[in-house]
Amino acid sequence: MGALFSLRDAQPGDMEHLDYFASLEGMDALPGCERIRVAVNEQGEPVGFCRLDADENGVAYVNPIVVFDTWRGYGVGRALIEDAWSREGELRLVARGQSVGFYEKLGFKPLSWDEVDLKAASEDCDNCPVREECGPLPMRLA
Ligand SMILES: CC(C)(COP(=O)(O)OP(=O)(O)OC[C@H]1O[C@@H](n2cnc3c(N)ncnc32)[C@H](O)[C@@H]1OP(=O)(O)O)[C@@H](O)C(=O)NCCC(=O)NCCS
């Protein structure tokens, strides 16, 4: 049996799927397919993706990562993060509270709020009406 999924760069034809995955998580549409890696199933259909952004010093930010819900728990998220980390050497992000355990499993450690660029992380937690329930946490893998 082959691998359940593989990773490749995103292509323009993927964006409808990826925007749909993002919208299901209440996230904005993606600005384009640059710096996006996609996990695809054996039919070549996207099942998850990880997009990277960067701050003014070139530090990479995960912004965002989404695995389609029926594909969660199969190592897709881990593979996408390990792939990004192996290219970048350092990753930062603001984790939603419900995803903190995922990032901890992969070795991310908490950061203080002044160590993250909220623009690169695309987070406006200060003005978010569900901040308290969400429990966002800045994190880093280095
Ligand atoms: C977070 C997310 C990307 C994880 O993707 P996934 O493919 O299910 O993760 P994996 O299967 O690779 O899990 C890797 C490890 O993390 C653990 N894990 C996954 N999600 C977890 C969670 N929410 N809390 C605690 N641990 C978690 C898994 O059990 C696994 O542990 P193991 O290696 O000991 O078996 C996925 O749940 C998702 O898309 N969520 C919605 C979007 C989102 O919240 N994105 C992050 C925004 S900050």
Domain contains 81: yes
- By most ligand atoms within 8 Å of CB, the mutation choice from 61, 105, 116 for ligand 1 is 105
Please give the residue range of the domain that contains residue 57. Answer: 6-141
Instruction: Answer yes or no: is 89 within a domain.
Output: yes
What's the N-to-C CA distance of the chain in angstroms? 34
Select from 92, 104, 97 the least CA-distant residue to 128.
97
pLDDT of residue 1: 58
Domain of 127, CATH number, reads 3.40.630.30
Residue 35 placed within a domain: yes
Query: Which of 99, 128, 134, 140, when mutated, tests ligand 1's pocket best, judged by the most ligand atoms within 8 Å of its CB?
Result: 99
Q: What is the mean pLDDT of each run of 10 residues along the chain (142 residues)?
A: 90 97 94 97 97 96 97 98 97 96 98 93 82 92 96
Sheet of 60-67, strand order: 6-9, 36-40, 46-54, 60-67, 91-95, 137-141, 109-110
Q: Is 10 part of any domain?
A: yes
Q: How many domains does the chain have?
A: 1
CA of 104 relative to ligand 1 center, distance in Å: 10
Establish if 71 belongs to a structural domain. yes
Q: Is 98 in the pocket of ligand 1 (CB under 6 A)?
A: yes
In a domain, 1, yes or no: no
74 lines ligand 1 (CB under 6 A): yes
Residue 102 domain flag: yes
pTM, full prediction? 0.96
